[in-house]
Amino acid sequence: MEKLVCHQLVSFFERLKILPTLQSAYRKNHSTETAVLKVITDVLRAADRGEVTLLCTLDLSCAFDTVDHGVLLDRLWYAFGVQGVAGSLLE
């Protein structure tokens, strides 16, 4: 059920074009490899231009666990229009 809801939400967000262009998570033909290649490409291009690059990495694997569920539901409802059956499945 969770996989189905995720698929439908991502499809909904893609149709409305509200996902960031470079977001890799939960998207078809995107992966952590895609994200890493983007970072490497940006670093190499900056080096070619003689620019200094600083890369700071953070482990955000548990960050989603700290999001207030009520705030998340409100955001999905008001900002993205996730309502009705879809919204009630997430409660």
- Tens digit of each residue's pLDDT (9 = 90 or more) over 3-14: 887 788 888 888
Q: Please state the pTM of the whole predicted model.
A: 0.55
Q: Residues 6 or more apart from 43 whose CB is under 8 A from it?
A: 53, 55
Which residues span the domain enclosing 83?
Answer: 58-91
pLDDT for the residue 48: 96
Is 85 contained in some domain?
yes
Is 42 contained in some domain?
no
Instruction: Give pLDDT < 70 ranges for the chain.
Output: none
Is 39 contained in some domain?
no
Dihedral angle computed from the Cα positions of residues 51, 21, 30 and 37, in that order, rounded to the nearest 10 degrees: -10
Number of domains in the chain: 1
Query: 23 with 30: CB under 8 angstroms?
Result: yes
Is 88 contained in some domain?
yes
